[in-house]
Amino acid sequence: MGDEGMAKIIAVCRSEKKGTKKEAVNDGVLRGDHGLVGDAHADCCTHRQVSLLARESIDKMRALGLDVGPGDFAENLTTEGIALVSLPTGTRISIGKEVILEITQIGKECHTPCAIYRQAGDCVMPKEGVFARVIRGGVIRTEDPIKVEM
């Protein structure tokens, strides 16, 4: 099992408008084939229903001197202890007792440089952000364990 057992959610983040930083909340509801309830990016008809970013990626930006934290990259779920970018698309991960996500995309093209890119000359989301579809919804909370399903 190794270190995988230590993977967990450290923040659940949402925003009502696209293109803005997300507010970290303690818990949320992921709706099957939709996304995080109350979040602007939730949509039944997209493969990018939920976005995930590792805290380890955020730490890289902090090392460049940026004051950033969970939600600042507009990710829904901030994770710790799991190498998200190493998961092939199609991988399913379970979170907590109920939720199952399927990784659908690694990275994304940013059409306009975001505020973080303009500030630091780099941003981790295009390379290290991961997108997923909600296979099975449920309540999601900080500290929920994450497991890669085989």
Three-state DSSP at 12 gives strand
CA 73, distance to chain mean position in Å, is 9
Backbone angles phi, psi at 7, to 5 degrees: -65, 140
Place of tokens 């500030």: 119
Place of tokens 């929920």: 144
Q: Is the Cβ–Cβ distance between 95 and 9 less than 8 Å?
A: yes
The 10s digit of each residue's pLDDT in 113-131 is: 777 777 777 778 888 999 9
The 10s digit of each residue's pLDDT in 64-115 is: 898 999 998 889 999 999 999 999 999 999 999 999 999 999 987 776 777 7
Place of tokens 């805290």: 55
pTM: 0.89
Structural domain boundaries of the chain? 2-149
Looking at the structure, give the CATH architecture of the domain made up of residues 2-149.
Beta Barrel (2.40)
Of 36, 42, 22, whose CA–CA distance to 99 is shortest? 36
Average pLDDT, the chain: 89
